[in-house]
């Protein structure tokens, strides 16, 4: 649809709840009362409308009974995770385990005490290490500035980093809960269990979750919903910037459809919205979400 024709941005209700949580920090979604500014969200998506969507729905209508009317749906074999219920991140411990917490408990990797002869001999073969003189807290701060692929490469390149960070559960716990996996708050109660974590290799858990929840074809089991949640969360980093801009626009000058149209006609950055191309990068959402959460502290 082009020009002044009405545009639709279809979202499953569960996905809309997750988008609302990402953009506002509020849980729950009422048809009649939203903390989410739907006008600002529409304008934000309108500005990003030129980007491709993998699965297209021609019309969508959300009504009070939370059902939607879908005229057409394109299904791709192997991409069923795209319609798996992402759920909302929940860090509240409960007596009844959820499918996500049950899944997480089954994949906790135990600590391995054995060390190969090659690994034991490595320190004696290291001649120069630029990071050996830095305090551990400074190494933690530097690591916090790197994205996940860069962090892995950094740790692999220097023996000091490997030896200091490899088995440091405190560092990897912070990485999971505050930097890389904010969308997986169900893991927080497990990481807070000191007795349990004394037997778990949190570094391996980090890398395992990063791999198993990566949005990719042919995912099965509980990882489907987590992969879909991660995918939507990443996209919200892009949507959030445009959404905040539209909220400020409304607060200062009222809803400016002219300004929105001018913004939409400009060359937008090469981002994708909810059905964006699959990517390993988590950095799309990090900067926005951290800044948004700071407002609610």
Domain that includes residue 136, residue range: 99-212
Query: Quick one: 109 and 149 in the same domain?
Result: yes
DSSP state of 176: I
Query: Quick one: 107 and 200 in the same domain?
Result: yes
**Overall number of domains in the chain:** 2
Predicted confidence at residue 108, as pLDDT, reads: 93
- Establish if 161 belongs to a structural domain: yes
Percent of the chain scoring above 90 in pLDDT: 22
Q: Which of 150, 179, 212 is the last residue in one of the domains?
A: 212
pLDDT tens digits, one per residue of 184-228: 999 999 999 999 999 999 999 999 999 999 999 999 888 999 999
Predicted confidence at residue 113, as pLDDT, reads: 58
Residues in the chain: 297
Q: Which of 191, 212, 233 is the last residue in one of the domains?
A: 212
> In terms of Cα–Cα distance, which of 194, 169, 155, 186 is closest to 86?
186
Rounded distance, CA 18 to CA 20, Å?
A: 5
Query: Quick one: 46 and 83 in the same domain?
Result: yes
- Establish if 4 belongs to a structural domain: no
- Establish if 156 belongs to a structural domain: yes
The helix (run of H) or strand (run of E) holding residue 46 is: helix 38-47
Residue 121: pLDDT band by 50, 70, 90 thresholds? low
Backbone φ and ψ for 119, nearest 5 degrees, come out as: -65, -40
Rounded distance, CA 104 to CA 159, Å?
A: 30
Predicted confidence at residue 175, as pLDDT, reads: 93
Predicted confidence at residue 98, as pLDDT, reads: 83
pTM more than 0.85: no
Query: Quick one: 132 and 201 in the same domain?
Result: yes
């Amino acid at each position: 649809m082009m020009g002044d024709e009405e545009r639709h941005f279809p979202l499953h209700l569960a996905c809309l709840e997750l988008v609302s949580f990402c953009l506002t920090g509020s849980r729950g979604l009422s048809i009649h009362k939203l903390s989410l500014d739907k006008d600002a969200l529409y304008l934000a998506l309108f500005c990003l409308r030129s980007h491709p969507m993998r699965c297209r729905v021609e019309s969508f209508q959300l009504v009070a009974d939370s059902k939607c009317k879908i005229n057409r749906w394109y299904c791709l074999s192997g991409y069923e995770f795209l319609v798996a219920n992402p759920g909302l991140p929940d860090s509240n411990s409960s007596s009844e385990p959820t499918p996500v917490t049950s899944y997480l408990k089954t994949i906790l990797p135990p600590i391995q005490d054995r060390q190969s002869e090659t690994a034991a001999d490595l320190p004696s073969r290291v001649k120069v290490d630029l990071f050996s003189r830095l305090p551990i807290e400074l190494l933690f701060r530097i690591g916090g500035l790197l994205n996940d692929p860069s962090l892995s490469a950094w740790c692999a390149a220097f023996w000091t980093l490997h030896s200091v960070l490899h088995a440091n559960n405190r560092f990897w716990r912070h990485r999971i809960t505050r930097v890389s996996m904010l969308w997986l708050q169900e893991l927080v109660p497990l990481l807070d269990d000191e007795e349990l974590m004394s037997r778990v290799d949190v570094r391996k858990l980090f890398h395992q979750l990063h791999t198993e929840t990566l949005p990719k074809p042919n995912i099965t089991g509980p990882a489907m919903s987590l992969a879909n949640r991660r995918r939507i969360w990443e996209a919200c980093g892009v949507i959030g910037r445009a959404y905040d801009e539209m909220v400020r626009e409304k607060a200062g000058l009222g809803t400016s459809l002219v300004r929105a149209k001018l913004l939409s006609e400009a060359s937008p950055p090469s981002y994708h919205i909810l059905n964006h191309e699959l990517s390993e990068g988590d950095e799309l959402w990090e900067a926005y979400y951290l800044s948004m959460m700071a407002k609610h502290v």
